[in-house]
Amino acid sequence: MNREKAIEEVDWYRQLVVRKLRAWGRDLNPNIRRLLISNIDEVVAHRDALQYKEAKDGYYIGQTDEDGLRHGYGIFTHTTDKHDRWTMQAGYWQEGRPMGTHTFYDADCPQSHHFLAAMHFLGERRRERGMVEVSISEKGINTRPRKYRRWEGFSLSTLVVGGLIIFVFLFALTRNVRLNLMIVGVIAAFYFFGSLRGRD
């Protein structure tokens, strides 16, 4: 990725948001619809001033200050080791911190879990998780405010390694194999059924 390709991607993101609003958000509040688009339009409006900055977990295209910190309107793309797993966050930044309501698209999950959201940030820290104010997906509109959480599916390796660590820790404390196996079994059951339940 470089500056020119990242700028081209801004247009693709705008088209994506428009498509999802048309498919998922027909009954969405008009003010929220305008906000979700306007965050990206503000980035487009400052095209000549956009700077490209790489990060360990993705890249940013947008306005920056003299120190190279995100300052103004921009888009941060969080990437993973899988090319089809990513998130996009567009909005206003101040000294590297997200401020106000951002446009957020979560594709760091299976296709059926993708969603578009208006996410609010207080601007208190750079790694703030953000509060999802409203989201739309193929399941409909969700207006329940909630902290953003990454999607996490079932992982056998996580279950096995986590269960083994818990068992060893408990055995060192109690020396009771049967009790420890029961506790690990209950924890494993909660993890398994939690992964099946999925996320909003």
**What digits encode the pLDDT tens for the residues 104-143?**
999 988 888 899 999 999 987 777 888 999 999 999 999 9
Q: Can you give the pLDDT at residue 127?
A: 76
Q: Which residues contact 115 (CB under 8 A, 6 or more apart)?
A: 105, 106, 135, 136, 137, 142, 200
Note the pTM of the prediction, 2 decimals: 0.75
Asked if 124 and 182 sit in the same domain, the reply is no
Let me know whether 117 and 188 are in one domain.
no
Cα 103 to Cα 130: distance, rounded to the nearest angstrom = 11
pLDDT at 151: 66
For residues 40 and 136, state if they share a domain.
yes
Residue 191 has pLDDT above 70, yes or no: yes
State whether the Cα torsion 87-88-91-92 is positive or negative: positive
Q: What's the pLDDT score for residue 83?
A: 80
Which two three-digit tokens encode residue 137? 């997906």
What pLDDT shows up at residue 1? 81
Is residue 127 domain-shared with residue 166, that is, in the same domain?
Answer: no
Question: Do 187 and 103 share a structural domain?
Answer: no
Q: Are residues 43 and 85 in the same domain?
A: yes
The structure tokens 């083994």 sit at: 164
Tokens of 54: 């790489």
Which two tokens mark 37?
């688009």
- Same domain for 142 and 61, yes or no, is yes
Structural domain ending residue among the three candidates 128, 147, 166: 147
Query: Is the same domain home to 21 and 103?
Result: yes
Asked if 143 and 172 sit in the same domain, the reply is no
pLDDT for position 197: 55
Q: Which of 110, 125, 147 is the last residue of a domain?
A: 147
Q: What is the pLDDT of residue 124?
A: 79
Structural domain harbouring 47: 3-147
For the chain, the domain total comes to 2
pLDDT value for 153: 58
- Residue length, the chain? 200
Check whether residue 81 and residue 178 sit in a common domain: no
The pLDDT tens digits of the residues spanning 55-96 come to 998 999 999 999 999 999 999 999 987 888 899 999 999 999
Confidence grade of residue 161 (pLDDT, cut at 50, 70, 90): confident
The reply to whether 80 and 166 lie within a common domain is no
**Mean pLDDT of all residues belonging to the chain:** 88
Regarding whether 110 and 27 lie in a shared domain, the answer is yes
